[in-house]
């Protein structure tokens, strides 16, 4: 079961009580959402410290505006939208800083990938670090779609709904993300990289 579905199940009994004004239920609801919101924010921002800030901001918003959740969509869909909006607001505020961070990430990621054979030469624990850096170097929209499709296992149609995009656009983003990420994974291994098509 995907993390989103697990969270949906985990908060099902808390949500009505929290909306009815039960403070303990509301607090517990926030605690259960925290990890997932953080991971969503991490994908959105590409930086653990910024993801912490965005996640805290989202929890504050959920605490204050939970009564605005009407129940028409899934709770996790609403929560994802709140997280996305918070991350967008954060991006606007930090635009100049982000540009610098993105440039640094873009500079670093290919360096990691351009080693002779980055994956083979790394200890397993470092593989995750390098691949995560490659992932964070993807454009934000590709990162978001890739995360939802490949990590969360959300169907393309549902991703399109969540992101207010055409399903074919979502598919295009997903393919671009896969191609970019996998090219970089294989980049340091000339024998395995994509051969030139004749």
Partner 1 sequence: MNCATARHMILEADLAEFDGTIDSELMEHVRACADCAAAVQRILTAERELREALRGAAPRRAADEAIRRARAPRRHWAWRAAPVAVAAVLAALLLGRRPLVDHALPPPPPPPPPLPQPLEPHLAVEAPPGRSVAVFGTDNPDIVIIWFY
List residues near partner 1 by CB under 8 A. 3, 27, 30-31, 33-35, 38-39, 42-43, 48, 51-52, 55-57, 59-60, 63-64, 119, 124, 127-129, 131-132, 135, 147, 150-151, 175, 178-179, 181-183, 185-186, 189, 191-198
Alpha-carbon dihedral 137, 60, 37, 15, rounded to 10 degrees: -160
Minimum gap (Å) between residue 132 Cβ and partner 1: 5
* Contacts of range 3-7, beta carbons closer than 8 Å, 24 or more positions apart: 3/36, 3/39, 3/152, 4/36, 4/76, 4/80, 4/152, 4/154, 5/76, 7/32, 7/33, 7/36, 7/76, 7/79
Nearest one of 41, 77, 105, 69 to 161, comparing CA atoms: 77
**Smallest separation, CB 145 to partner 1 (Å):** 13
Spatial distance between the Cα atoms of 162 and 170, rounded to a whole number of angstroms: 11
Minimum distance from residue 195 beta carbon to partner 1 (Å): 4
Q: Among residues 140 and 164, whose Cβ is nearest to partner 1? A: 140
DSSP calls for 4-39: HHHHHHHHTTHHHHHHTT-HHHHHHHHHHHHHHHHH
Quote the least distance from Cβ 164 to partner 1, whole Å.
23
Q: Least CB distance from residue 56 to partner 1, whole Å?
A: 5
Please tell me the distance from the alpha carbon of residue 44 to that of residue 40, in angstroms, as a whole number: 6
CB of 150 to partner 1, least distance (A): 7
Nearer to partner 1, 43 or 98 (CB): 43
Say how far apart CA 96 and CA 118 lie, in whole Å: 31
């Amino acid at each position: 079961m995907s993390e989103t579905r697990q969270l949906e199940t985990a908060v099902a009994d808390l949500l009505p009580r929290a909306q009815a004004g039960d403070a303990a239920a509301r607090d517990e609801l926030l605690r259960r959402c925290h990890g997932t919101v953080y991971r969503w924010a991490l994908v959105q921002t590409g930086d653990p410290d910024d993801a912490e800030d965005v996640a805290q901001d989202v929890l504050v918003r959920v605490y204050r505006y939970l009564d605005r959740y009407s129940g028409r969509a899934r709770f996790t869909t609403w929560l994802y939208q709140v997280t996305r909006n918070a991350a967008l607001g954060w991006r606007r505020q930090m635009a100049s800083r982000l540009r610098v961070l993105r440039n640094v990430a873009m500079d670093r990621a290919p360096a990691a990938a351009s080693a002779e054979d980055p994956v083979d030469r790394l200890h397993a624990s470092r593989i995750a670090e390098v691949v995560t850096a490659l992932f964070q170097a993807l454009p934000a929209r590709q990162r978001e779609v890739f995360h939802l499709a490949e990590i969360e296992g959300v169907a393309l149609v549902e991703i399109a709904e969540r992101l207010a995009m055409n399903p074919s656009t979502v598919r295009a983003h997903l393919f671009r993300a896969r191609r970019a990420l996998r090219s970089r994974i294989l980049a340091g291994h000339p024998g395995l990289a994509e051969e030139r098509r004749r």
